[in-house]
Amino acid sequence: MKTVVINNIPKSNKDEFYAPDNHPIRKAAQVIRDGGLIAFPTETVYGLGANALIPAAVENIFKTKGRPDDNPLIVHLSNPLKIKPLVLDIPDYAQLLINEFMPGPITLVFNKSNIIPDVVTAGLQTVAIRVPSHPLALFFLSLADVPIAAPSANLSGKPSPTSANHVLEDFNGKIPYIIDGGDCQFGLESTVVDTTGLKPVILRPGAITADDIIKCCGDIGNNIHDFSITPKSPGMKYKHYSPNAQVIAVPLKDTAKKTAKEIQKNIISHIPKGKKLGIYASDEVILMLKKLKINFEELSFGDYKDINKASAEFFRALRKGDKLGLDVIIVQTFPEDGLGQAYMNRLSKAAIQQEKKIILFVCTGNTCRSPMAEYYFNSFDVIKTKNYRAKSAGIHAFEGDKATRGAIKAMDKLFSIDLKDHLSSYLNREQIENASFVLAMTNLHKLEILRIFPEYKYKVYTLREFVGVNLDVDDPFGLDDESYINTAQKIANLTNILIDKLK
């Protein structure tokens, strides 16, 4: 399928969008009505939409995104007046929120009526509804003239898209049209508010803040729902916004200079030499860091303390970091009030979860066995691997060696996995520190790791003892192609069991 990006939608002299006959946006609206998928802009992030009234179309969103099927979708409407038939009741305070903030970056959760299919809400008896304010979103919703179920238009686990290009990165060839509405104004997803109780409860912080809601309804239940403990908004429990790079949050100090010093301190104590580093901070902080002669890629957002700009550019910066092949991105924090609450929520999800969820495979030279295991493991998506990613290292490795020819050939032949980009690394303390488990190929590797790093005994295992199969993975180094094939197959078998055992 060819993906067409639709831009230059014409405007009338009253500055309103219109769609001439045969304009592709008309076709996109027809695709939606007929049960296909279309990506469209909103003022928060881009959405991947389907006709909410066609269950098979909605199922296709989950498949295309790789989204867990217990995570419900938001239903988008062109006008708040269309909410009524889709819900059982609208409490008075919810009506106040509608009057004040819709259209806008807010999503309200109601008890659903029978019109909404169960796939949309992942079986919940409640439905989340949003009327975006982006003029092109409203225009497209009116053209389609059906409720559109849409999550953010990113592959599950990736940072949300804030431009048509980001959507293209994730879904090129998988959907027929992307409607290009330029860069998103807010750049963080909408505030999700539960309105099924006596008081509003914020399930996901966003650009409409707790203060805004209190001002509007006079009160708020339970302050803010503690989504980290019981994820009432099911999406909050999944790994989100994770670039390939490790994300480290560094506290904002009262001056740019102190913030720069704090970042420098973190680099020295946490980031091994030779890692490709990016820094997401204000222009002033970036300037200070340059004076400190630190080598890094700039991912700046403008003025010091400009939380609006920092939020709007955050996901873009994470995606840019991946394009630059960064290993680590240091991100400046903000105080957790107002919009800072939404920013810090996304940042902590990008930062903490991924650090904790690494499996480190270890062999001798990090050119055959451990990279085979790493690449085989990472060929599965994060849902299958329960949010774990694999890395690898060697106890006697050189830095930057390629995988051996035999290993590359075997992995290509058996699994079409490309090992050519692998570069070896020498096992160091940070790698062990950052890993949830360290899995050695043989008992000798394990003993050697424990000799050097005895304090990590609790997380170092041999692969075979971890999966409970009595099989060591011997070294094929220097042997013929068949030995490599045997080794690759053995590693794949053990890794399959490993993946099944992860929780």
| 152 vs 300 by CB, closer to Mg ion | 152
What is the C-alpha separation between 345 and 324, in angstroms, rounded? Answer: 25
Q: Is 124 in the site for ligand TXA (CB under 6 A)?
A: yes
* Tally of helices (H runs) and strands (E runs) in the chain: 16, 18
Q: Indicate the SS3 state at residue 239.
A: coil
Closest separation between CB of residue 153 and Mg ion, Å? 9
Q: How far is CA 144 from CA 34, 38, 160, 162, 179, in A?
A: 10, 11, 24, 22, 13
369's contact among Mg ion, ligand TXA, none, with CB below 5 to 8 A by partner kind, is: none
Choosing from 19, 31, 44, 310, the residue that interacts with ligand TXA (CB under 6 A) is 44
Q: Indicate the SS3 state at residue 174.
A: coil
Give all strands of the β-sheet with 277-281 in edge-to-edge order: 246-250, 328-332, 277-281, 297-300
Q: Is 42 in the site for ligand TXA (CB under 6 A)?
A: yes
> DSSP labels for 290-303?
HHTT---EEEE-SS
Q: Is 71 in the site for ligand TXA (CB under 6 A)?
A: yes
Exposure pattern of 147-178 as b/e (b: 16+ CB <10 Å)?
A: bbbbbbbbbbbbbbbbbbebbbbbbeeebbbb
Choosing from 151, 159, 365, 476, the residue that interacts with ligand TXA (CB under 6 A) is 151
Closest separation between CB of residue 126 and ligand TXA, Å? 4
| 227 vs 296 by CB, closer to ligand TXA | 227
329's contact among Mg ion, ligand TXA, none, with CB below 5 to 8 A by partner kind, is: none
Q: Is 78 in the site for ligand TXA (CB under 6 A)?
A: no
For the chain, the maximum distance between any two Cα atoms, rounded to a whole number of angstroms, is: 76
Question: Residue 24 contacts by C-beta under 8 Å, 6 or more apart in sequence?
Answer: 4, 6, 177
Choosing from 64, 126, 259, 282, the residue that interacts with ligand TXA (CB under 6 A) is 126
| 204 vs 446 by CB, closer to Mg ion | 204
Closest separation between CB of residue 387 and ligand TXA, Å? 16
Closest separation between CB of residue 322 and ligand TXA, Å? 19
Give all strands of the β-sheet with 358-363 in edge-to-edge order: 389-394, 358-363, 437-440, 460-462
Closest separation between CB of residue 192 and ligand TXA, Å? 5
Choosing from 109, 167, 178, 435, the residue that interacts with ligand TXA (CB under 6 A) is 109
Closest separation between CB of residue 190 and Mg ion, Å? 10
- Residue of minimal Cβ distance to Mg ion: 152
**Rule CB under 5 A: which residues touch Mg ion?**
152
Question: Residue 342 contacts by C-beta under 8 Å, 6 or more apart in sequence?
Answer: 188, 191, 205, 206, 207, 209, 311
- Residue of minimal Cβ distance to ligand TXA: 235
Q: Is 121 in the site for ligand TXA (CB under 6 A)?
A: yes
Q: Indicate the SS3 state at residue 209.
A: coil
Q: Is 130 in the site for ligand TXA (CB under 6 A)?
A: yes
What is the C-alpha separation between 225 and 234, in angstroms, rounded? Answer: 13
Q: Which residues pair with 248 in a beta bridge?
A: 330
Q: Is 235 in the site for ligand TXA (CB under 6 A)?
A: yes
Whether residue 353 contacts residue 433, with contact meaning beta carbons closer than 8 Å, is answered with no
494's contact among ligand TXA, Mg ion, none, with CB below 5 to 8 A by partner kind, is: none
- The residues in 164-223 that bind ligand TXA, with binding defined as CB under 6 A, are 189-190, 192, 203-204
Which window, 43-51, 94-102, 209-217, 417-425, contacts ligand TXA (CB under 6 A)? 43-51
Degrees (nearest 5) of the Cα angle 417, 419, 422?
Answer: 145
Closest separation between CB of residue 202 and ligand TXA, Å? 11
| 59 vs 283 by CB, closer to Mg ion | 59
104's contact among Mg ion, ligand TXA, none, with CB below 5 to 8 A by partner kind, is: none
Calculated CA dihedral for residues 304, 327, 319, 296, nearest 10 degrees: 40
Token duo for residue 7: 């831009």
| 31 vs 359 by CB, closer to ligand TXA | 31
Q: Is 150 in the site for ligand TXA (CB under 6 A)?
A: yes
Check residue 279 and report its DSSP letter.
E
- Candidates 295, 274, 247; CA nearest to 400 is 274
Degrees (nearest 5) of the Cα angle 143, 148, 151?
Answer: 135
What is the C-alpha separation between 426 and 396, in angstroms, rounded? Answer: 7
Token duo for residue 394: 């060697």
Binding mask 389-418 for ligand TXA (x = CB under 6 A): ------------------------------
Check residue 401 and report its DSSP letter.
P
| 241 vs 466 by CB, closer to ligand TXA | 241
| 68 vs 176 by CB, closer to Mg ion | 68
Q: Is 234 in the site for ligand TXA (CB under 6 A)?
A: yes
Which window, 123-131, 320-328, 348-356, 483-491, contacts ligand TXA (CB under 6 A)? 123-131
Closest separation between CB of residue 402 and ligand TXA, Å? 38
Which window, 13-21, 65-73, 320-328, 369-377, contacts ligand TXA (CB under 6 A)? 65-73
Residues that bind ligand TXA (CB under 6 A): 42, 44-45, 47, 71-74, 107, 109, 121, 124, 126-128, 130, 150-152, 189-190, 192, 203-204, 233-236
